[in-house]
Amino acid sequence: MLEERALLRVDGEGNVLEVAAKNVQEAQAAAKSYYDKRWNAKTSQFKAGERVLVLAPTQARRCSHPKLAPRFNGPYRILELSDSSALVKQIYGQEEAIGPFEEGS
């Protein structure tokens, strides 16, 4: 890559911004690949419109008897879904959507 940059400066051929953008995309793809392998990232198994429960680990800490506190909140309906997060709305109760929730957290 350093040779490419040096040649572009000397020759003046090509667009430096295009080469820089290509280098950034390649670096981002390499970083994503490394992260996915390192943390065993998986694609979402959920679909928009499904009913889900949301893990509530902080609720147990506020309770006087954490063992008896509910582990999940819900039910929620998934409104939007991306690769690693979801926007959900409580089926009974609150009106506005909450989230996004990261998958696996």
pLDDT digits (tens, 9 = 90+) for 30-64: 999 998 888 887 777 888 899 999 888 776 677 78
More confident residue, 74 or 84: 74
Answer whether 17's CB lies under 8 Å from 25's CB: no
Total count of residues recorded for the chain: 105
Q: What is the pTM of this model?
A: 0.50
Mean of all residue pLDDT scores within the chain? 78
Q: Report how far residue 89's alpha carbon sits from residue 101's, in angstroms, rounded to the nearest whole number.
A: 11
